Amino acid sequence: MHKPALPSTFDLPARDYVRVVMMETSHSGNIGAVARAMKNMGLGNLCLVNPRAFPDETSYARAAGASDVLDRARVVSSLDEAIEDCVLVMGTSARGRKVPWPVMSPTDAARQVGDYHGKGEVAVVFGRENNGLSNEELQRCHVHIHIPTNPDYSSLNVAMAVQVMCYEIRMEYLRGLENSDSNPQLKAINSPEDPGWDVPPATVSELEGFFSHLEDTLAGIDFHRRDNPRQLMTRLRRLYQRARPDQMEVNILRGILTAVQKSASDPSAGVSSKKQDQTDV
């Protein structure tokens, strides 16, 4: 059942936890079109990683009445900077990759975005017009979103891909308002994004700290060969990101790594020093 446009006060500022990230956009008109698409759907948090030309006249012309979204857009110089404080990162791609990642439909992805409301910042990342997101960039994401286009002609214009995602996020938001009376006790508590979980989800920078600690440790015990890495770290990254660890879980894992490093460098240190390193759980 379709309802007409609602008064503007209806949109909560809390929607700002959803961040649209655009990687190295070459056509500034697309940035304007993205701002418009976002504002139409009640979103306003735009982050641009190394745009070729921004701000400029073309972007503002294409933004129409959404110039405020461009005014407050943040320009950064790396994907790391764009997502480091996020607790959920979703990358969008038209193409499957060699090491497949968990893939979600736009509707399921929007549901996850809704689940993270109040838990921290969420980023939805969009690629370059000419060659999308690299494998490495996609591996920084917890999940991939694929818009189920015609397999023989699968690539949408980037602003149209943003439009589809922002629409789904809005629909999820509106469904959430409708169901806000439903009994919270009936909701599952499965992972840190769910209300009732005891510890906040780990941020990207906390997880990245863990991944480099893990790599150093595995190299230190000769399990990981930096001169012949194969896909080891990629697969471990996929495993841990899939688990969506919370902050304490990351601390525990890092405590274990520190103990392994200590015992590898001084096997005689033994049990007593390990005890001291135990994370307070």
| Closest to ligand SAH by CB, 45 or 93 | 93
* Of residues 146 and 238, the one with the C-beta less far from ligand SAH: 146
The minimum distance between CB 38 and ligand SAH, in angstroms, equals 14
In the complex, least distance from residue 20 CB atom to ligand SAH, rounded to whole angstroms? 10
Q: How far is the CB of 63 from ligand SAH (least distance, A)?
A: 18
Instruction: Classify burial at 118, counting beta carbons within 10 Å of its beta carbon; exposed 0-12, middle 13-18, buried 19 or more.
Output: exposed
The minimum distance between CB 83 and ligand SAH, in angstroms, equals 14
Least Å distance, CB 212 to ligand SAH, is 26
- What the block records as the tokens of 115 is 């689940």
Instruction: Decide whether 128 or 244 has the Cβ nearer to ligand SAH.
Output: 128
- Phi/psi of residue 203, each to 5°? -85, 170
Q: Which is nearer to ligand SAH, 125 or 259 (CB)?
A: 125
- Closest CB to ligand SAH among 154 and 258? 154
Least distance CB 167 / ligand SAH (angstroms): 13
Q: How far is the CB of 192 from ligand SAH (least distance, A)?
A: 26
DSSP codes of every residue in the chain: ---PPPPGGGS-GGGGGEEEEEES-S-HHHHHHHHHHHHHTT--EEEEES-SS-S-HHHHHHHGGGHHHHHT-EEES-HHHHHTTEEEEEEE-SS--SS---EE-HHHHHHHHHHTTTT-EEEEEE-BTTTB--HHHHHTSSEEE-----TTS-PPPHHHHHHHHHHHHHHHHHHHHHTTTS-GGGS---STTSTT-SSPBPPHHHHHHHHHHHHHHHHHTTSS-TTS-TTHHHHHHHHHHHH--BHHHHHHHHHHHHHHHHHHH-GGGHHHHHHHH----
- Which residues would be at the binding site for ligand SAH (CB under 6 A)? 92-95, 126-127, 129, 131-133, 145-147, 149, 154-156, 158, 161
129 or 172: whose CB is closer to ligand SAH? 129
Nearest CB to ligand SAH, comparing residues 113 and 259: 113
